[in-house]
Structure 1
Amino acid sequence: MARPALSAVAELLKPITWFPPMWAFACGVIASGVAMQGHWLIAILGIVLAGPLVCASSQAVNDWFDRHVDAINEPQRPIPSGRMPGRWGLYVAILWTLLSLVWAAFLGRWAFIAAVVGLLLAWAYSAPPLRLKQNGWWGNAACGLCYEGLAWTTGAAVMAGGAMPGNRSLLLALLYSIGAHGIMTLNDFKAVEGDRRMGVRSLPVQLGVQRAGRVACWFMALPQLVVVLLLVQWQRPGHAVAIALLLVLQLILMDRFLESVTQRALWYSGFGVPVFVSGMMISAFALRSGGSAA
């Protein structure tokens, strides 16, 4: 059997998708309050685990089990285009999953458990019989929890030597996971035709494009509003104001996005999502300055 080119393997692993979990892990590292001195190596190893390993595994799994949908929506992808011949897509997914587990084992028990949970969610999202992505509510929730909440919590725990993060850190991780549900919906607008034909009930398929766009915006905006209120309560007014300003900017961008949802979903991902994740890092620094376990 012909082997795929390295360029096809790299495209299968979708490096552009690695940023959110890597960023969330870094937020957890910051929120832990642990000094970076003497911990740089474990932080870097954890960031690699979150992005180029676990997230890349999830992308390979998704492309293999979505190959029939991609043949309609994105026929240029490595598997439907034939650049990833035979069952090589599945082999890469399995290999990267195993590599992720081996890597996580060197980071301690918490990182290994988190990697197992994240990889189970990745396979459950794409693979039968669960195939959570068949329903946009469940599938997007699984992605949000894995990409944001689990990565944040793991970063904080690894830095603290395996100790459970404080309640405030866990709460912020959960809120940004909920917000990520909306971000995941943005990825579904480009695939409505194929999803509908193949029975994938994404939110744009279930609710219609315009209504799904509004739901995505609510999912992204409301958790950030709660974060602002929490930071005020935790006596971090400067950080609260900064996130509030970022939220206002997002609302302006959302208004433009909703004028033409399908055409501007990618545009909003490029401009609105970086603003969203900037607020994540600000909230992490708020915990660091005040003590995340407080």
Structure 2
Amino acid sequence: MARPSLSTVAELLKPITWFPPMWAFACGVVASSQSLGANAFLIILGLVLTGPLVCASSQATNDWFDRHVDAINEPQRPIPSGRMPGRWGLYIAVLWTVLSLVWAWGLGTWGFWACALGLLLAWAYSAPPLRLKQNGWWGNAACALSYEGLAWITGGAVMLGGALPEQRSLVLALLFSAGAHGIMTLNDFKSVQGDAQMGVRSLPVQLGVVNAAKTACACMLLPQAVVVVLLLQWGLPWHGAAVLALALAQLPLMQRFVRQPVEKALMLSAFGVPLYVSGMMVSAWALHFTPQVLA
């Protein structure tokens, strides 16, 4: 086979993973307090950039440099299965990176440089010599910052004509990025065996699956608690109560996850993470309706 099929290319780019950065970008857009209808085209440009371009680039890059680990953990993936022959995985990663940078010009200076930083983190995460994913603390931090915080801040800045979003929006972006570290850890439980064999020091490998599960839950819950306190301090009690309710709804899922980390990681990802990201949007709407900086 000289080249991969279109369905194999789509599988390499993992459309299901595009949602988190697109959602975070949308949160930044909402938190900016700017008109959504008047900026619809700009919003669409940003959503395409964060999901089908930048996130897809990171997935292709990761699959190429993870092909030896995937041969153990997920041999059915496009590259180890042989359905993505030769160096096509690398070519697609490079092509999508270039396309992302070209597309980012349409979002102005901030959009371009934010895109460049996100791509730099994506390559640093997967590729030598840095290969941040070799350590779960650093690798998951890079992903969380890129997928959540950077995407949120970019959404706000694009809507503000390149200006940095207000302080409250920046604080929320960073807090939800910190919580996303735990979300990124959930993805590591399915590959403990291969990671251990290949020297990838994910948190389940470093801490053991139970301690890593507790750490992931703590990483998710603590920033949400801080967000609740801040929303109350900003005079937004109803939004704070909503974020608190969403966080409390995650607790039963987390308890089951801690008892059976490997078996229940997907369950927490499927049902707990939507509750977490709903809290992000609730917080963004809180700022949307209170554009002035509160004392």
Bucket of the pairwise TM-score, normalised by the shorter protein: over 0.9
Match of 1:58 in 2: 58
Post-superposition offset of 1:37? 2.8
Match of 2:34 in 1: 34
Match of 1:81 in 2: 81
* Contact residue 166 and residue 292 of structure 1 kept, 8 A: no
Relative to structure 1, the CA distance from residue 252 to residue 108 in structure 2 (aligned partners, 3 Å threshold; closer, same or farther) is same
Match of 2:173 in 1: 173
Post-superposition offset of 1:106? 1.1
Amino acid at match of 2:7: S
Amino acid at match of 1:273: V
Relative to structure 1, the CA distance from residue 206 to residue 292 in structure 2 (aligned partners, 3 Å threshold; closer, same or farther) is farther
**What is the distance in 1 between the residues matched to 2:283 and 2:9?**
36
> Unmatched 5+ residue regions in structure 2?
none
Query: In angstroms, what is the RMSD of aligned CA positions?
Result: 0.8
Post-superposition offset of 1:92? 0.2
Report the TM-score when normalising by structure 2. Answer: 0.99
Deviation track 1:226-255 (CA, whole Å, cap 9, x = no partner) reads 000000000000000000001110112111
* Contact residue 165 and residue 292 of structure 1 kept, 8 A: no
Post-superposition offset of 1:257? 1.2
Amino acid at match of 1:163: A
Match of 2:25 in 1: 25
* Contact residue 169 and residue 293 of structure 1 kept, 8 A: no
What is the percent sequence identity of the aligned residues?
70
Amino acid at match of 2:227: V
**What is the distance in 2 between the residues matched to 1:243 and 1:120?**
32
Paired positions, count: 294
The 5 A counterparts of 1:1-294 are 2-291=2-291, 293-294=293-294
**What is the distance in 2 between the residues matched to 1:193 and 1:292?**
51
**What is the distance in 2 between the residues matched to 1:292 and 1:133?**
40
* Contact residue 45 and residue 106 of structure 2 kept, 8 A: no
**What is the distance in 2 between the residues matched to 1:255 and 1:207?**
18
* Contact residue 105 and residue 112 of structure 2 kept, 8 A: yes
* Contact residue 31 and residue 292 of structure 1 kept, 8 A: no
User: SS state of the match for residue 36, structure 1?
Assistant: coil
**What is the distance in 2 between the residues matched to 1:23 and 1:292?**
24
* Contact residue 34 and residue 160 of structure 1 kept, 8 A: yes
**What is the distance in 2 between the residues matched to 1:205 and 1:76?**
23
> Unmatched 5+ residue regions in structure 1?
none
Report the TM-score when normalising by structure 1. Answer: 0.99
